[in-house]
A and B are shown apart, each in its own frame.
Chain A
Amino acid sequence: MIIVIDALNKHRFGDLLADMYRLRARVFGDRLGWEVEIKDGMEIDQFDRLDPAYVIGLDDEGHVVSCVRALQTTGPHMLSDVFQVILDGEPPLRSARLWESTRFCVDTQRLAGNGNMKAVSLATCELMIGSLEYARRSGISDIVTVIDPVMDRVLKRSDNAPYGYVGSTKPMGKVSAMAALLDCTEERIGRVRAFSGIHGDVFADEDAVRALLDARRAREAGMVPAAVSQVSQDDIMSYCEDQIRAAETPEDRAAALALAQVLARKAQAPRHAGKLH
């Protein structure tokens, strides 16, 4: 499933963004050996501070398995600022209906852990479908995307070959990088869908994703939702009465009475009620 996170909803998905930055650190820092800045295991650059949009793929448990970042080419973006070398010193394309996509990656480690390359291909196609449809819905006609030759081959093999390139392939870290052009037409989306067999709506509901993430975090923390609200005032009163009845010394009885008084006072202030048991 795919979720789009941008400046309007990122306050709800800080955990998901952190997972994405960690995936990017593993892929672009470790595997591809690009000169990216990694801090606390997360790869974050200056363009992440410009409120880009992220298209993120999740598995059924809400783990980030793929991601890509989109920026408008009318404003600051990577090809205009840090990837000029790919363009052989030429100025970049600038158009209202052209977006730039960068940091496209898939978590091959998680997906192909058991040698299942099909899962990698599916996740790649799902992310492609999600990002092309998101762009298309936004009135975008074309995407210029910075990719490495491996991703270029993946695109070609999944009936999603770029229709052109700008600039030329340049060495970058352990691999090289190039700028490819993709149209956001229904034809292309249809081809990727046919190739991958993904036919339904790939986008997940925002609230459903939030609930899924919260449920998983709770599970991982070994936390069962506390039953605080199930302790009724009657339960408390009968507990106090039991304690008073069972008191064997005057001191015990006084303590039990004092407790009953404290609890009764707290029960009258509802915002403290949760701390009662």
Chain B
Amino acid sequence: MELIDLSSLPNGEGRFTTFLDQICARFELDHAAYAGTNPIAGTIHGYVNYSDDWKSHYVEHGFHRIDPTLHMASRSIAPVDWRRLERDENFQKVFRNAGDFGISDQGLTIPVRGPFGDIGMLSVTRNCPLPEWDKLKEHIIGELQSVAVHVHDTVMRSDVLSQVLRFPPLSTREKEILQWTAAGKSQQDVGDILGISHRTVEVHLRSAREKLYALTTPQAIGRAIALGLIYPL
């Protein structure tokens, strides 16, 4: 199943949990959660697809104030396997009874840092034998990184001020590559035309896509045209 671009889902809080469900289905995960802070709007956002029982247990015990899968993991630059947090007494406190709620303490948090001091975390869990978990992780971690930034950027842009501010400018090279791609050239062709390696083309294209909050290149081209960054052909 392909992930749906978040901006194409109908507005409203429900779309984020729908997206989390999609992430679980696509990457063979049990649960997913996103938490983020937006210092510009002064807001905190959280979306989970955990059971209501676990949600109320979690909030009742004030776990959001001590949960190291949030507070410690957000300070890492790399995804944090929760095994790294096991020695933390707060980890034990939060997850001691998680099993009763069908929540696994085998998980991973992907920290995201944004340009305005905003931070976000996408956490996912999967209850399975350890070797299987390690294999799954290795397999999905790259795409999960992209998905985490996509969710974070979309949530952070949900207020009016951020929508105006939060548009990372594209470089001349990124626009050039988008323009040639819009003209139907392959990465290899674009590389030959511009005298750079195809991997350099690829890394610029990916950056341009993400700056335009698009998951695919055609989407990115559509948006770039709409914004007047490149010419329609």
Contact surface of A with B, Cβ cutoff 8 Å: 6-8, 51-53, 70-76, 80, 87, 90-99, 134, 137-142, 163-164, 166, 181, 183
In the complex, besides A95-B210, A134-B78, A163-B200, 13 extra interface pairs with C-beta distance below 8 angstroms are A8-B75, A8-B76, A74-B112, A74-B113, A91-B169, A93-B207, A98-B203, A137-B78, A138-B141, A139-B143, A140-B145, A164-B203, A181-B200
Tell me how many residues of B have a C-beta within 8 Å of chain A: 44
Whether B142 is near chain A, meaning CB under 8 Å from some CB there, is yes
Given contacts A90-B171, A95-B206, A163-B200, contact A138 B113 (CB under 8 A): no
Q: In the bound complex, do residue A80 and residue B141 qualify as a contact, i.e. CB atoms below 8 Å apart?
A: no
Measured between beta carbons, the chain B residues less than 8 angstroms from A166 are 173
Q: In the bound complex, do residue A51 and residue B77 qualify as a contact, i.e. CB atoms below 8 Å apart?
A: yes
Q: In the bound complex, do residue A6 and residue B200 qualify as a contact, i.e. CB atoms below 8 Å apart?
A: no
Q: In the bound complex, do residue B203 and residue A76 qualify as a contact, i.e. CB atoms below 8 Å apart?
A: no
Name 12 interchain pairs, CB-CB below 8 A, sorted by A.
Answer: A8-B73, A53-B76, A75-B112, A92-B171, A94-B115, A96-B150, A98-B206, A138-B79, A139-B143, A141-B142, A163-B200, A181-B203
Q: Closest residue to A4 on the B side, CB-wise? A: B78
Whether B72 is near chain A, meaning CB under 8 Å from some CB there, is yes
Measured between beta carbons, the chain B residues less than 8 angstroms from A163 are 197, 199-200
Closest approach, in angstroms, between the C-beta of A73 and any C-beta of chain B?
8
Given contacts A72-B113, A138-B141, A139-B142, contact A7 B72 (CB under 8 A): yes
How many Å lie between the Cα of A76 and that of B141 in the bound state?
A: 22
Measured between beta carbons, the chain B residues less than 8 angstroms from A72 are 77, 112-113
Whether B114 is near chain A, meaning CB under 8 Å from some CB there, is yes
Where chain A touches its partner, the secondary structure class is: loop
Measured between beta carbons, the chain B residues less than 8 angstroms from A91 are 168-171
Q: In the bound complex, do residue A99 and residue B77 qualify as a contact, i.e. CB atoms below 8 Å apart?
A: yes
How many Å lie between the Cα of A95 and that of B77 in the bound state?
A: 13
Closest approach, in angstroms, between the C-beta of B36 and any C-beta of chain A?
12
Closest approach, in angstroms, between the C-beta of B107 and any C-beta of chain A?
15
How many Å lie between the Cα of A166 and that of B142 in the bound state?
A: 23
Given contacts A72-B77, A96-B148, contact A80 B115 (CB under 8 A): yes
Q: In the bound complex, do residue A75 and residue B113 qualify as a contact, i.e. CB atoms below 8 Å apart?
A: yes
Q: In the bound complex, do residue A8 and residue B207 qualify as a contact, i.e. CB atoms below 8 Å apart?
A: no
- Residue of B117, B144, B196, B206 with highest tally of chain A CB at under 10 A: B206
Choose from B78, B80, B168 the contact partner of A94 (Cβ within 8 Å): B168
- Residues 56-83 of chain B: 1 if any A CB is under 8 Å from the residue's CB, otherwise 0? 0000000000000000110111111000
Measured between beta carbons, the chain B residues less than 8 angstroms from A53 are 76-78
Whether B211 is near chain A, meaning CB under 8 Å from some CB there, is yes
